[in-house]
A = this chain, B = another copy of it.
Amino acid sequence: MRRTSEETKAVILTAARERFAADGYERATIRAIASDAGIDPSMVMRYYGNKDGLFAAAADVDLGLPDLTAIPREEVGRTLVAHFLDRWEGDEGMMILLRTGVTNESAAERMRGIFAAQLGPLVARLGSDPAQAALRAGLTATQILGMALCRYVLCLPPVVAMSRKEIVDWLGPTVQRYLAE
């Protein structure tokens, strides 16, 4: 099939995101990604240089965090938990970060950067003690990422069985305490 270069780049990137999300960095091979995209492996190199370049493009994730100062303070915990559930079930971005960040140092560095740049400032704007903002953001990350790990990656049966409402009801108060109490 004949495409424009932009189309080809996009097709490759979509396949790459799915593979990195499903398999992690090492097992997501250029050959497999090219096969999914229905093109030759050399096309991947042509447009992204090497595997690292492709990964960098695939792992460019925006958490799309909501403005927590615009909602009632007692609702920030539940709101953030619900938002991350949407993010996890929406696209592969979070899965890419988690699956690759665990065995790839540059991916872990990217994960640190994303949380420092996006979750950190959000928590800081919530007010309270500025000196504690980083700590509170870190605590929040442990609970949010832990839920994602158990539910979407390790697939622990009792965690998979939980409904969306159950998760918000149980984790909401935890994140509320970490964020604002």
SS of A interface (majority): helix
User: Are B108 and A155 in contact (CB-based, < 8 A)?
Assistant: yes
The count of residues in chain A whose C-beta lies closer than 8 Å to any C-beta of chain B is 45
Interchain CA distance A26-B25 in the complex, whole Å: 10
Known A23-B103, A24-B102: A144·B146 in contact at CB below 8 Å: yes
Q: Is A43 an interface residue (CB 8 A)?
A: no
Known A147-B142, A149-B142: A103·B157 in contact at CB below 8 Å: no
Q: Return the contact of A102 from the options B102, B138, B174 (Cβ within 8 A).
A: B102
Q: Mark A91-123, 1 if CB is under 8 A from B, else 0.
A: 000000011011100001001100110000000
Chain B residues with CB under 8 A of A138: 150, 156-159, 161-162
Q: Is A170 an interface residue (CB 8 A)?
A: yes
A–B complex contacts, Cβ < 8 Å, 10 sampled: A23-B103, A99-B102, A99-B103, A101-B153, A103-B103, A138-B158, A142-B150, A142-B151, A143-B143, A143-B174
